[in-house]
Amino acid sequence: MTTPHLLLVYHSSEGQTAKVAARIAATANEAGASVDVSTTDDAPYPGEYDVVILGDSIHAGHHSKGLTKYITGHLEVLNGAQVALFQVSLTSATDDEEHSTMAHRLVQDLLDKTGLDPDMVGLFAGALAYTRYGWFKRHLMRRIARSEGSDTDMSVDHEYTDWEAVDEFARNALAMAAEAAGDA
Ligand SMILES: Cc1cc2nc3c(=O)[nH]c(=O)nc-3n(C[C@H](O)[C@H](O)[C@H](O)COP(=O)(O)O)c2cc1C
């Protein structure tokens, strides 16, 4: 039996995307797959993997420069491979049509900018990590949270990630990898 081999490349500014990446990797490892996890700073060449998972968070309405650069630098290989992309944002913390449309638009902006054509996309709610922000960012985020009717207690962090949805995304990426590895 061939062991599915996955690469997970992510960018995380305050740690939530890193947490999601770790959860996906743990799920894949438990299922017997091999997963190389890397930040965009030292990510390897994406060829030779059954599936490449790309993860990024949204800041000020944009994806990170790090992931954008990794994608454009390896676009041909990525578009010839099986790719699962996930996006972490506070937009996805609100479950209504307006926020859902906005979350999809943020993904589409990245695809338009890079030319990436992923096989799977996951949209996950992130966190308000007040205790990890500096003074300015903490107060800015509280102002935004207040306008969204979200959590404003700055003495604790607020996590909105739906871990069931993350696990489902991991299982789907694994199924894709198993198929690519010839095990399906
Ligand atoms: C300065 C700042 C700006 C942000 N801007 C946006 C935004 O424009 N849209 C959005 O949906 N989320 C925004 N967020 C929320 C982040 O996407 C969310 O906190 C996410 O969990 C961050 O993931 P990371 O910790 O992996 O970087 C912002 C967060 C910060 C701190």
Q: Which domains does the chain have, with CATH numbers?
A: 5-126+162-180 (3.40.50.360), 128-160 (no CATH)
Pocket perturbation via mutation, ligand 1, pick of 8, 16, 57 by most ligand atoms within 8 A of CB: 57
Q: Which has the closest alpha carbon to 70: 44, 103, 34, 50? A: 44
* Mean local confidence (pLDDT), 17-37: 96
Q: Whose CA is nearest to atom 17 of ligand 1?
A: 89
Any atom of ligand 1 within 6 Å of the Cβ of 17: yes
User: 131-151, pLDDT tens digit by residue?
Assistant: 999 999 999 999 999 999 999
The pair of three-digit structure tokens given for residue 156, joined into one six-digit string: 């604790």
Closest ligand 1 atom, CA of 127?
21
Distance CA 173, CA 85 (A): 10
CB 49 within 8 A of CB 7: yes
Q: Which has the closest alpha carbon to 86: 5, 168, 1? A: 168
Distance CA 113, CA 60 (A): 16
User: 183 pLDDT exceeds 60?
Assistant: no
Distance CA 28, CA 55 (A): 15
The pTM for the full model equals: 0.97
* CA 59 to ligand 1 centroid distance, Å: 4
* CA 36 to ligand 1 centroid distance, Å: 25
Closest ligand 1 atom, CA of 140?
1
Bridge partners, residue 84, by sequence: 53, 120
Q: How confident is the model at residue 181 (pLDDT cuts 50, 70, 90)?
A: confident
